[in-house]
Amino acid sequence: MSYFVEIRPRELKPALLELDGISRATVEAHYRLYQGYVGKRNEILGALASVDLGAANQIYSEVRALKIDLTFAVGGIKNHEIYFEHLGGAGGDPDDAIAALIERDFGSADAWRADLRATGMAGRGWAWTAFDWDEGRLFNYVGDAQNTFPVWNATPLVALDVYEHAYFLDYQTDRAAYIEAFLRNLDWGIVNGWVDSYSIPTE
């Protein structure tokens, strides 16, 4: 069996080209960036497969650089797959299982939104609403880059990209306006599908 298997980017859903307040040009450029992370991941694993692990100590700096770059590329893939998958909906208040989780763990949808907005404004790259399996509850975690700061044993359910590439074309420096547009396009049906498929307990 081969250690190194290439993966391919997921297709972009057509609904992503017709978002409310996030332009087609932004989404297309953003999708190309995601494709780049997939290419990078494949390239890095190819490079790692060709490193002679039996060689002298100087390979360790090379292995270190490749492994760190791998976390960035794989983070970029996972983050963007969540982001693209759960946009294209009608936004509004959460419903069904995710609404119950949000109400229980944040008090209300408004309180969750306020915390996510603040996390998104504070972060340099991402804000994630994730279910932490160890505490059995949701948190809004902050991310500065593709590989910082995911938390072990937590499952992201909402991924708000706040890198400038997500909004600069449409909003220049007005990140707050972009965050409102993100919320208007969330597809809660997709998020509820994840709650169900990951068997996240709602009580």
Does position 105 interact with Fe ion (CB under 5 A)? The reply is no
199: its two tokens: 């068997």
Q: Which of residues 62-81 bind Fe ion (CB under 5 A)?
A: none
Closest distance between Fe ion and the C-beta of residue 36, in Å? Answer: 10
In whole angstroms, what is the distance from residue 29 CA to residue 94 CA? 28
The site map against Fe ion for 163-182 (x = CB under 5 A) is: x-------------------
Nearest distance from C-beta of residue 146 to Fe ion, angstroms = 8
Interior/surface letters 135-165, b for 16+ CB within 10 angstroms, e for the rest: eeebbbbbbebbbeebeeebebbbbbbbbee
Rule CB under 5 A: say whether 161 interacts with Fe ion.
Answer: yes
CB of 203 to Fe ion, least distance (A): 34
Residue number, 29 or 109, with CB nearest to Fe ion: 29
Phi first, then psi, for residue 13 (nearest 5°) are -65, 135
| 128 binding Fe ion? (CB under 5 A) | no
Q: Which residue is nearest to Fe ion (CB)?
A: 161
DSSP single-letter state for residue 86 = T
CB 159 within 8 A of CB 166: no
- Minimum separation from the CB atom of position 166 to Fe ion (A): 5
At 140 the three-state DSSP class reads: strand
> Using CB under 5 A, which residues numbered 5 to 64 contact Fe ion?
none
Burial class (CB within 10 angstroms; exposed 0-12, middle 13-18, buried 19+) of 120? buried
**Interacting residue ranges for Fe ion, rule: CB under 5 A:** 161, 163
